[in-house]
Amino acid sequence: MPLVSMRQLLDEAAKGGYGVGAFNVNNMEQIQAIMEAARETQSPVIIQASRGARAYSQDKYLFHLMLAASELYPEIPLVMHLDHGNSVETCKSAIDLGFTSVMMDGSLQADGKTPATFDQNVEVTRQVVELAHQKGVTVEGEIGVLGGVEDGHGAGGSGHVTDPAQAVEFVAKTGVDALAIAIGTSHGAYKFSSKPDGSVLKMDVLIEIHKRLPGVHLVMHGSSSVPKDLQDVINQYGGKLKPTWGVPVEEIQLGIRNGVRKINVDTDSRLAITGAIRKVFIESPEKFDPRDYLKPAREAMKKVVAQRMTQFGQAGHASDYAPISVEEMKKRYAAAAAAAAK
């Protein structure tokens, strides 16, 4: 199956009332873990790479690893997505490389740290939408600012919750396919000091945005659940993680019932991998072959990803529809633009 349009995956998810996990990658083992989980659960999947991942692995390595995944798992609808593009140029570089979806995070300025104005956000996102849709590529935008920092990206602190009225205006002015919103989640492992309630996780804001934008695909960032059992494995084998809580799966499922179609997960994968590697190092200190610790790390991540795919509802939906290529999406975007211009 060719790499497919994220717009198609999210449209189908909306029809089926489920969410699709978007899992971050930096290397081969992570991609393999995601694809094995997708095959095991028969799930469509979004693999995403941040600017940090692209720099770490080098674009060509990462692109061809993801391309190989589409060839080795032809039955799995696969989207290659740029996570947190910081500029029009960054998004264009991903589009030119062959990504089928990009995120223009105009909520922050190009440094990836300083909050941008609403008008700045609209302008850069609109430019990316115009550029991407000409190539059949999906665009995710963001309104509001998430807290925390991950991969060097983020404003830190507690962020800024999305204003529902601004969300409506932003979608109208940019034409984005998907909208990431800030509802109190944050990047990184240290999201909450206790299980979050309505005072910190603003699900009421999400529900209000969905009511105002029922046809728009919403995105939850910073949505790793940071399970205690994964933390415990790390600490059991020499780690020093402080107690922390992530986004409860039941809250993500509430979001899915209210328009969330893409759920970003990264920290959970990192925790699973790190715990598995630490376990090998402590229990088998004589081991020195990277395969001896990367294989269990890959398996640990696969289990977490498969669990999330089932919890998000995407399991079993890989063969529901024929894939739409970016070439076909280019025609559809052009037709929609022509109709809007009349």
Token output for 264: 């970003």
Quote the domain boundaries for residue 196: 6-332
pTM of the full structure: 0.93
| Interhelix angle 203-212/164-174, nearest 10 degrees | 40
Q: Give the whole-angstrom CA distance, residue 325 versus residue 6.
A: 10
Provide the pLDDT for residue 194: 80
Provide the pLDDT for residue 99: 96
> Which residue, among 38, 121, 50, has the nearest Cα to 80 in the 3D structure?
50
In a domain, 1, yes or no: no
CB-based contact 87:102 (threshold 8 Å): no
> Which residue, among 299, 280, 302, 186, has the nearest Cα to 233 in the 3D structure?
280
Token output for 92: 């264009």
In a domain, 217, yes or no: yes
Provide the pLDDT for residue 321: 93
**Distances from the Cα of 16 to the Cα of 314, 321, 324, angstroms:** 9, 12, 17
Token output for 114: 């300083």
SS3 of the chain: helix, strand, coil, percent, to 5 = 50, 15, 35
As annotated, the active-site residues are 83
What backbone torsions phi and psi does residue 243 show, to the nearest 5 degrees? -55, 135
Q: Give the whole-angstrom CA distance, residue 179 versus residue 216.
A: 7
Provide the pLDDT for residue 156: 47
Task: Characterise 55 by phi-psi region: left (phi > 0), alpha (psi -120 to 50), beta (else).
Answer: alpha
Which amino acid type is present at position 198? Answer: G
In a domain, 339, yes or no: no
- What is the DSSP secondary-structure string of 197-260? -TTTS-HHHHHHHHHH-TTSEEEE-S-----HHHHHHHHHTT--PPP-B---HHHHHHHHTTTE
CB-based contact 15:336 (threshold 8 Å): no
In a domain, 254, yes or no: yes
* Number of structural domains found in the chain: 1
In a domain, 340, yes or no: no
Mean per-residue pLDDT pooled into runs of 10, the chain (342 residues): 88 98 97 98 97 92 95 96 96 96 94 90 97 97 74 53 95 97 83 79 95 97 92 96 92 96 96 98 97 98 98 97 91 92 82
Which amino acid type is present at position 99? Answer: F
Provide the pLDDT for residue 113: 82
Q: Identify the three-state secondary structure at position 135.
A: coil
In a domain, 342, yes or no: no
Q: Identify the three-state secondary structure at position 161.
A: coil
Determine the length of the chain. Answer: 342
In a domain, 310, yes or no: yes
DSSP 157: T
First to last CA, the chain: 36
CATH code assigned at 186: 3.20.20.70
In a domain, 229, yes or no: yes
Place of tokens 């090998």: 280
